[in-house]
């Protein structure tokens, strides 16, 4: 009987799809979806750090606030941050110091600092979007907040305990302290989902994936625009604002590492990649951080033999916390000396498992298979 292996984050009640057998998780690419769940964007800006330049708000013929383009200092990719408009920076103290409220005739005339605070107060990003669509000026201010929501939605499993499980293992036998009694009951129900009578099983876990926050915002905007049509140029600008260049948050010219936050160990991507050209920032073709995790966070009652390793399913990292980040982000920190590079140790383990299964030339085999499949896929588009 085959096992249904998948990775779960008990604290979030979330799970990946089935990755197949453990050997498939190591060599077939079925676990690659783990990487975006853990890869931290390199830079995240905040309203406190914004360089808000002074400007002028001029009411246009339709009564909306027109905004001239501006540049701003932030950690966002320049081609995206330049979409924001120049913000009129009213001086709150100048307006309120002497009780001169005559200038504050409407919400739009209030100090820009208050506008930013209003946006920051809104927890629901859909509320931020709807408020932003009220005028061109508020779109300029709200876009900054929308960007932050999108960036914060990335790497949802970073720092969360995760474990790769099969549906035959008793949750009470998971690593000590990983699950509360309530979580044990939830995982036990989850493990029954694949049974013949699973339609009556209450499953509190949800599968990760589906539309991103950016895609949800785009859909909400298009629904809004279908009722309140706007000029094509405005529609395009807003859609671009809701589609940040996510890949630019994950530069490819840096060394990315998988960090075990529980044990303070890390693995370098450049050490485990089969070929240099297979590295694309935190995502690595064929053999990358996802496969390393599968090899070390799996847990089952039944012994799982892969190659010359008799029990892969008792992973020493099962239930630990992880993230994926550039090495440069931690090299300069005072505590960097307390971290241990276990890249070579991981490579030896992979040789025992995959090499014992596929032979000593397993690296060349996997690399050549990937290149052939990539060439074949490309040729279909010629």
| pLDDT tens string 105-163 | 567 777 888 888 899 899 899 999 999 998 888 898 899 899 889 988 999 999 999 99
Mean pLDDT of the 278-306 span:
92
Strands across the sheet containing 163-165: 206-207, 14-15, 6-9, 163-165, 298-299
Is the domain of 80 the same as that of 166? no
Is the domain of 195 the same as that of 340? yes
- Rounded mean pLDDT of the chain? 80
Question: Considering the chain, what percentage of its residues have pLDDT values greater than 70?
Answer: 78
Other Cβ atoms closer than 10 A to 222: 13
Query: For position 81, what pLDDT does the model report?
Result: 40
Whether the pLDDT of residue 358 is over 90: the answer is no
Q: Is 350 a member of any domain?
A: yes
Q: Which domain does 82 fall in, by range?
A: 47-153
Per-residue pLDDT tens over the stretch 61-75: 333 333 333 333 344
- For 143-157, 201-215, 318-332, 345-359, which range has the lowest pLDDT when averaged over its residues? 201-215
CB under 8 A, 24+ apart: contacts of 52-59: 52/87, 52/89, 52/112, 52/116, 53/86, 53/87, 53/89, 54/88, 54/89, 55/86, 55/87, 55/88, 55/89, 56/88, 57/88, 57/108, 57/137
- For 200-214, 257-271, 327-341, 355-369, which range has the lowest pLDDT when averaged over its residues? 200-214
Q: Is 109 a member of any domain?
A: yes
- For 10-19, 88-97, 288-297, 304-313, which range has the lowest pLDDT when averaged over its residues? 88-97
Which positions ≥6 away from 248 have C-beta within 8 Å?
77, 79, 80
Distance separating the N- and C-terminal Cα atoms of the chain = 43
Query: For position 195, what pLDDT does the model report?
Result: 54
Q: Give the pLDDT band (50/70/90) at residue 13.
A: very high
Q: How many domains does the structure of the chain reveal?
A: 2
Mean pLDDT of the 5-26 span:
92
Query: For position 66, what pLDDT does the model report?
Result: 32
Q: Is 103 a member of any domain?
A: yes
Closest to 285 (Cα-Cα) out of 161, 372, 159: 372
Per-residue pLDDT tens over the stretch 87-97: 444 444 443 44
- For 97-106, 134-143, 184-193, 248-257, which range has the lowest pLDDT when averaged over its residues? 97-106
Is the domain of 303 the same as that of 338? yes
Query: For position 127, what pLDDT does the model report?
Result: 94
Q: What is this structure's pTM? A: 0.76
Polymer length of the chain: 382
Question: How is residue 11 written in tokens?
Answer: 């604290």
Q: Give the pLDDT band (50/70/90) at residue 202.
A: low
Mean pLDDT of the 324-330 span:
92
Which residue among 123, 153, 183 closes a domain?
Answer: 153
Helix (H) or strand (E) holding 164: strand 163-165
Is the domain of 129 the same as that of 77? yes
Q: Is 1 a member of any domain?
A: no
Q: Give the pLDDT band (50/70/90) at residue 103.
A: low
3-state secondary structure of 272: helix
Query: For position 105, what pLDDT does the model report?
Result: 58
Q: Is 55 a member of any domain?
A: yes
Query: For position 330, what pLDDT does the model report?
Result: 86
Inter-axis angle of helices 136-152 and 112-121, nearest 10: 40
Mean pLDDT of the 1-12 span:
83
Is the domain of 17 the same as that of 115? no
Query: For position 4, what pLDDT does the model report?
Result: 76
Closest to 139 (Cα-Cα) out of 86, 61, 213: 86
Whether the pLDDT of residue 320 is over 70: the answer is yes
């Amino acid at each position: 009987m085959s096992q249904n292996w998948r990775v779960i984050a008990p604290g979030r009640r979330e799970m990946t799809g089935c990755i197949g057998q453990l050997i498939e998780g190591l060599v077939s690419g079925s676990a690659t979806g783990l990487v975006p769940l853990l890869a931290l964007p390199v830079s995240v800006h905040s309203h406190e750090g914004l360089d808000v330049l002074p400007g002028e708000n001029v009411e246009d013929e339709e009564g909306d606030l027109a905004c001239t383009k501006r540049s701003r200092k932030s950690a966002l990719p320049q081609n995206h941050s330049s979409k924001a408009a120049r913000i009129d920076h009213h001086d709150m103290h100048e307006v309120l110091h002497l009780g001169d409220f005559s200038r504050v005739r409407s919400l739009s005339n209030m100090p820009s600092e208050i506008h930013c605070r209003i946006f920051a107060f809104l927890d629901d990003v859909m509320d931020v979007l709807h408020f932003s669509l009220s005028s061109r000026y508020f779109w300029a201010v709200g876009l900054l907040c929308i960007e932050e929501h999108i960036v914060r939605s990335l790497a949802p499993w970073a720092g969360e305990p995760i474990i790769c499980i099969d549906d035959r293992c008793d949750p009470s036998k998971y690593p000590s302290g990983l699950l509360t009694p309530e979580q044990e009951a939830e995982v036990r129900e989850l493990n029954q989902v694949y049974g013949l009578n699973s339609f009556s099983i209450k499953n509190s876990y949800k599968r990760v994936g589906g539309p991103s926050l950016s895609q949800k915002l785009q859909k909400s905007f298009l629904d809004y625009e279908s009722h309140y049509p706007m000029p094509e140029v405005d529609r395009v600008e807003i859609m671009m604002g809701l589609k940040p260049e996510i890949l630019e948050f994950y530069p490819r010219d840096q060394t990315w590492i998988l960090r075990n936050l529980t044990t303070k160990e890390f693995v370098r991507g450049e050490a485990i990649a089969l070929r240099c050209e297979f590295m694309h920032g935190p995502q690595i073709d064929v053999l990358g951080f996802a496969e390393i995790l599968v090899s070390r966070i799996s847990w089952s009652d039944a012994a799982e033999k892969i190659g010359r390793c008799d029990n892969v399913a008792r992973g020493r990292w099962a239930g630990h916390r992880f993230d994926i980040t550039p090495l440069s982000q931690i090299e300069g920190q005072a505590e960097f000396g307390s971290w241990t590079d276990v890249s070579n140790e991981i490579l030896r383990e992979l040789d025992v498992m995959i090499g014992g299964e596929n032979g000593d030339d397993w690296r060349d085999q996997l690399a050549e298979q990937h290149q052939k499949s990539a060439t074949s896929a490309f040729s279909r588009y010629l």
